[in-house]
């Protein structure tokens, strides 16, 4: 199964890029994994309209999901289900044994997701009740995917 973490927008802060890259590299030992950054949507002039930005991001994201053959979509969303790390690992394992071709976790842009993408999702995942920037979520999500794999293999990375 292909596993992807997809993010809207490019990471500008080098320290975020470094942290994300570290866990992307580690994940490569456990799964066919890819981290994809899709382009930012910028307003041509003035203050961006969140509805317009989400709609434009949805077009780019939908095109990518279709071309990548994603058959199970989970959106990282503040209103999603939260899991303890072990429970998340078990949830990931249950998805892995279902015969999916391509499981994708998606980090939206600063305004969240357009309804056209929300309606395609098979699930919503929250990394906790606090609000984090869409940039900061990248290394956090990559680390939790890595942690889940080490839990499933019984490796000592996760301490209970």
Structure letter (DSSP) for residue 19: H
**pTM assigned to the model:** 0.95
Residues constituting the chain: 160
- What pLDDT shows up at residue 159? 77
- What pLDDT shows up at residue 112? 93
- Classified by CATH at the fold level, domain 2-152 comes out as Alpha/beta knot (3.40.1280)
- What pLDDT shows up at residue 160? 65
> In b/e form, how buried is each residue of 74-103, taking b as 16+ CB within 10 angstroms?
bbbbeeeeebeeeebbebbeebbeeebebb
Q: Model confidence over 22-57: pLDDT tens digits? A: 999 999 999 999 999 999 888 777 788 999 999 999
With residues binned 3-state (H G I as helix, E B as strand, rest as coil), the percentages for the chain, rounded to 5, are: 40, 20, 40
List, in sequence order, every residue forming a beta bridge with 6; answer none if it has no partner.
36, 106
- What pLDDT shows up at residue 45? 74
């Amino acid at each position: 199964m292909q596993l992807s973490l997809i993010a809207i927008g490019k990471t500008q802060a080098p320290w975020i890029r470094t942290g994300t890259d570290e866990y992307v590299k580690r994940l490569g030992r456990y799964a066919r994994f890819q981290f994809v950054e899709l382009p930012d949507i910028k307003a041509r002039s003035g203050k961006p309209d969140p509805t317009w930005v989400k709609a434009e991001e949805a077009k780019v994201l939908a095109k990518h999901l279709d071309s990548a053959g994603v058959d199970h979509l989970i959106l990282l969303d503040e209103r999603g289900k939260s899991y303890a790390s072990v429970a998340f690992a078990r949830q990931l394992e249950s998805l892995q044994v279902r015969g999916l071709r391509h499981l994708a976790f998606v980090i939206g842009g600063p305004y969240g997701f357009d309804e056209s993408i929300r309606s395609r999702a098979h699930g919503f995942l929250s990394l906790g009740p606090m609000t984090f920037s869409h940039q900061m979520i990248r290394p956090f999500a990559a680390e939790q995917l890595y942690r889940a794999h080490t839990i499933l293999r019984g490796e000592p990375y996760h301490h209970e």
